[in-house]
Amino acid sequence: MGHATDGNIGAKFDAVYTSLVDGKSHVLGTMVDANDGSKYMLVQAGATITQHDCVAVTALGTALAITTELATTGQTIGLAPVGAASADFFWARVGGRMTDAKVRTLAACAGSVALYTSATAGVLDDSVTATEILITGIRTVTTMSSTTGDAGATCIATWMHGLGIGI
């Protein structure tokens, strides 16, 4: 996880804020470039977000753990580097070059393969059904064991998008 390089002093990518009235000049939807080549967006959790969830961000800046339905709506897709309670604010990784990011996967998800939405909100998997949505721009680096999926699989990601499969 990098740090801000574009003059956005105070953007802490590993922090969760309960309000935006803490002396920071950031507003919801602010985009920040990081020194590692990734891009972050200040978002507000619309429900509980688990650390390393794949999230969909609405036009209003609300982040929700991604579901198949959300992936079909053209929302910005990102990764949550922190867990957040509903209504909390955090910096979601939404693009650029992400080489050390993590994403929650189902157990035994293969490495270096396409990832799809799953029946579990926020969690991706390598298994596709007629209703799951391909998330382009992201690949896990290694195969996940049966016990490490929720801990977050190291992944490589760029600008992620949902593409309908079988819909």
* Residue 24: per-residue pLDDT: 59
* Residue 165: per-residue pLDDT: 46
For the chain, the structural domain boundaries read 16-95, 101-164
Q: What is the pLDDT of residues 19-29, one digit of tens each?
A: 886 545 678 99
Half-sphere exposure of 134 (CA within 13 A, CB side): 9
Select from 129, 156, 122 the least CA-distant residue to 47.
122
Q: What is the pLDDT of residues 32-76, one digit of tens each?
A: 888 888 899 999 999 999 999 999 999 999 999 999 999 988 889
Q: What is the pTM of this model?
A: 0.89
Half-sphere exposure of 65 (CA within 13 A, CB side): 22
* Residue 164: per-residue pLDDT: 60
Task: Concatenate the DSSP letters of all residues of 10-52 into one string.
Answer: T--TT-EES-S-SS----TT-EEEBTTSEEEEEEEESS-B-TT
